[in-house]
Amino acid sequence: QVQLVESGGGLVQAGDSLRLSCVFSGSRFSEYGMGWFRQTPGKEREFVAAFTWNWTTYYSRADYLKGRFTISRDNAKNTVYLQMNSLKPEDTAVYFCAAKWSGRTWRSVDDYGFWGRGTQVTVSS
C-alpha cells in the first residue's frame, strides 16, 4: 500500500523560498512517477510538476511558474521534493504530492492513483 506524506509548507513572505518534501511509503519507489499539484479554495486542483520513473521532468505551462519551481527526487530516501523560489502571494495553496506507476500522461489529477493529504503554503505580501 502506497502512502504519501508531505511536509515543508508554512507561512512565508513574498520573495522567500520553500522546499516541500513528500515521503513515499511502500515498495519500488523508483518505479513510480511522482507529481506535485496545488489547490486553492473553490478551484480545481492544478498540475505543478512531475518527475517520471525514467528521470524526465514536466512542469506546468502556466505563466506563474516561469522557472521558479524545481522538482527533484531522491530514490535512496523515497522522497520527492518541490523547490519553490521567489514565492508570490498567488502561490498560496495546499500543495499535494501524487504517485503513479503506469501511463504516459502526467498533467491531470486523473493520471495519479495515490495522493497525500497536502501541505499548506501561505505567502504574505
For residue 14, count other CB atoms closer than 10 A to its CB: 13
Q: Answer yes or no: are the C-beta atoms of 18 and 87 closer than 8 Å.
A: yes
List, for residues 47-90, the tens digit of each pLDDT value. Answer: 999 999 999 999 999 888 878 999 999 999 999 999 999 999 99
Mean pLDDT computed over 36-44: 97
